[in-house]
Amino acid sequence: MKKTFYAVFAVLFVIAVGIYYYATFPSINIHEPVFWGALLIIFMVLTIFFAVKSLRGTLKNNRFAFQDVKSFPILAKFFLTLSILVVVFYIGGSIAGSTVFRARAYASLLTVKEYDFSEDIEETNQVTDIALMDTESARKFGKRKIGSLSDVVSQYEVEDDYTQISIQGHPMKVSGLKYASFFKWWNNRGNGIPGYVKVNPVNSEAEYVALKKGMKYVPSGYFNYNLQRHVQLAYPTKIISGYHFEIDDEGNPFYICPTMKPRVGLFGGMDVNGVIICNPVDGVCSYYPVNKIPAWVDCVYEGNLLTKKYDWFGTFSGGFINSIIGQKGCKITTDDFGYKIIGDDVWAYTGVTSVNGDQSNIGFVLMNQRTSEAKYYKVSGAEEHSAMESAQGTVQEKRYEASFPSLINVSGQPTYIMVLKDSAGLVKMYAMVNVEQYNIVATAASQTEVFSKYRKMIAANGEITPDEESWLERTVTVESVQFVETDDGTVVYVKDTEHGVYKQAFQDNEDLIRISRGDVIKVYYEQVTEDDNEIHPLRKFEILATPSPEMNQQQ
């Protein structure tokens, strides 16, 4: 009878542990605190079970003393000893990874190199590589796009989490769909999620992409089709930190699941050591260490992790005591971040301020989300939220809301650029604010106009002089002049007889209207790359000769 009782308990206990594991799927890893908590609960339950008779006797006497443990059966003592060891290891591991004793180890988790802003950041004439639209606006555009598709909106919704990626050097926000409810998952589980949404954060265009085969392993799935459970059970010993939806260069969907490892002590300084890439269509998962991750993957180090690592670097480089007393050289990131595309990588951008929080920045940092490379630029001036308030203040009667800004180089001047949105999340205006003098604010309905206004304002304030030394000059004969209407205004393209092309915004130089076919002009232009066949930004021109009326008639 006693053996039967123990056998039944063992079966029920194993079933209970199995249900717990399937429901919560914790990582089976000594560096995972939840794992130690689960072990403690298991050992304590077994201790109580095997010591139940002894405990019953002590409870009748309304007392329990340490010496009563001596009366415990051998198995109860064994599991009690294991419970104590779990607590000791957990406390010891936590202390070993404490910032009190390992402050400089935390500071060394991110290598930060200082660069010169005007030399490292190329001058910008038009923003095509910065995600000016924030995630909240992207959500609104994505929902609006799905709402127009009657066959999709009835069964699916757009995931709230958008991932910032780079597609051929241009920013793009992407998000998968999710099942609207359990019953809609049940009805559609055989076909899966039919597509995903792309939102261009530069021109505010949203696109729904239908897939040939649906995604079955998704975060909104249930049971074995739940993405987190599926990936964790495939790699039970990996510590997985969330997931990000991305697409490769061919538009195929994948979920990127970063794996973590402590760099300080048993639990401290959690950092990425690889990623698990899951194909949501067929559920195939593959693990890649950080040095072998495919080039198309953009979000390995999530922005919040990168800012946390910089805060460790900025706060603990001088030791723990200095971070509390004196705080010499201590600095932290501001409370938000934006994105910038450099090459084909996504970089998280955020300002850096002193720990005293004096509403001003002492610099800013760019951090690569694929490699965790960090670049620091010493640029003093307005903190991002102060710049946002300045931009909103210029159009306060419209009650527009500013997006989190990005930093660009305009004529060598550090400049914040952002969009101003209405209550529906639609981009209504662009704003540019000078970092060092945030009373210099330009707003306009298009990028071309706001750049033009801003350049004139900083020139009027004596902030810039034309960098004519870097301009190239050439005497050419005009073959054609074209005035092209764009979303940002009229752009004038001048083509010479040797196939050189020069462009300038008409608003920046209305004298462009004087150029005609056949004119001999001297052009002053910038060469952005070494490719001589590029379209050159035109800075200035002089008309040296014009064709005679007879020649014009012949032409």
Cα–Cα dist 502/508, whole Å: 14
Q: Is 481 or 58 the better-scoring residue by pLDDT?
A: 481
Question: What pTM did the predictor assign?
Answer: 0.81
Q: Is 125 or 225 the better-scoring residue by pLDDT?
A: 225
Sign, CA dihedral 48-53-55-59, equals: positive
Task: Tell the burial category of 413 from Cβ atoms under 10 Å away from its Cβ (0-12, 13-18, 19+).
Answer: buried
Cα–Cα dist 552/180, whole Å: 68
DSSP letter, residue 405: P
Percent of the chain at pLDDT exceeding 90: 58
Cα–Cα dist 89/458, whole Å: 61
Percent of the chain at pLDDT exceeding 70: 91
Say yes or no to pLDDT of 419 above 70.
Answer: yes
Tell which residue, 338, 302, 438, has the closest CA to residue 135: 338
* Whole-angstrom Cα Rg for the chain: 31
Contacts from 325-333 at CB under 8 Å and sequence distance 24+? 327/355, 327/356, 330/354, 330/355, 331/355, 331/362, 331/363, 333/307, 333/365
What pLDDT is attached to residue 64? Answer: 53
Range in 203-212, 369-378, 502-511 with the lowest mean pLDDT: 502-511
Q: Is 144 or 236 the better-scoring residue by pLDDT?
A: 236
What pLDDT is attached to residue 54? Answer: 67
Range in 96-100, 364-368, 395-399 with the lowest mean pLDDT: 395-399
DSSP letter, residue 154: T
Say yes or no to pLDDT of 178 above 60.
Answer: yes
Q: Are 464 and 413 in contact (CB under 8 A)?
A: yes
Reported as type and span, the H/E element at residue 47 is helix 33-50
250 is written with which tokens? 């061919």
Q: Is 202 or 316 the better-scoring residue by pLDDT?
A: 316
Q: How many CB atoms lie within 10 A of CB 490?
A: 13
Give me the CATH code for the 468-554 domain, please.
2.40.50.140
Section 340-367 average pLDDT: 88
297 is written with which tokens? 């993957």
Say yes or no to pLDDT of 552 above 90.
Answer: no
Say yes or no to pLDDT of 326 above 90.
Answer: no
DSSP letter, residue 508: T
Section 187-194 average pLDDT: 94
Q: Hunting for tokens 């922005």 — which residue is that?
A: 303
> Measured at the alpha carbon of residue 553, what is the angle toward residues 549 and 555, in degrees to the nearest 5?
115
Cα–Cα dist 499/533, whole Å: 8
Say yes or no to pLDDT of 512 above 70.
Answer: yes
Reported as type and span, the H/E element at residue 244 is strand 244-247
Sign, CA dihedral 441-445-446-452, equals: negative
Tell which residue, 168, 300, 190, has the closest CA to residue 246: 300
Section 68-91 average pLDDT: 89
* Sequence-ordered alpha helix ranges (H) in 317-432: 320-324, 384-394
Strand 239-240 relative to strand 244-247, pairing: unpaired
Say yes or no to pLDDT of 481 above 80.
Answer: yes
Task: Dump pLDDT digits (tens) for 264-310.
Answer: 999 999 999 999 999 999 999 999 999 999 999 999 999 999 999 99
Say yes or no to pLDDT of 513 above 80.
Answer: yes
Cα–Cα dist 164/170, whole Å: 10
Reported as type and span, the H/E element at residue 11 is helix 2-24
Cα within 13 Å of Cα(476), Cβ side? 22
Strand 345-354 relative to strand 331-333, pairing: antiparallel
Q: pLDDT-based confidence at 378, cuts 50/70/90?
A: very high
Strand 163-167 relative to strand 156-158, pairing: unpaired
Task: Dump pLDDT digits (tens) for 137-167.
Answer: 888 888 888 887 877 888 999 998 899 999 8
Q: pLDDT-based confidence at 549, cuts 50/70/90?
A: low
Section 87-102 average pLDDT: 94
Q: Are 352 and 336 in contact (CB under 8 A)?
A: no
Q: How many CB atoms lie within 10 A of CB 97?
A: 21
Section 163-178 average pLDDT: 91
Q: pLDDT-based confidence at 358, cuts 50/70/90?
A: low
Q: How many CB atoms lie within 10 A of CB 338?
A: 24
Task: Tell the burial category of 193 from Cβ atoms under 10 Å away from its Cβ (0-12, 13-18, 19+).
Answer: buried
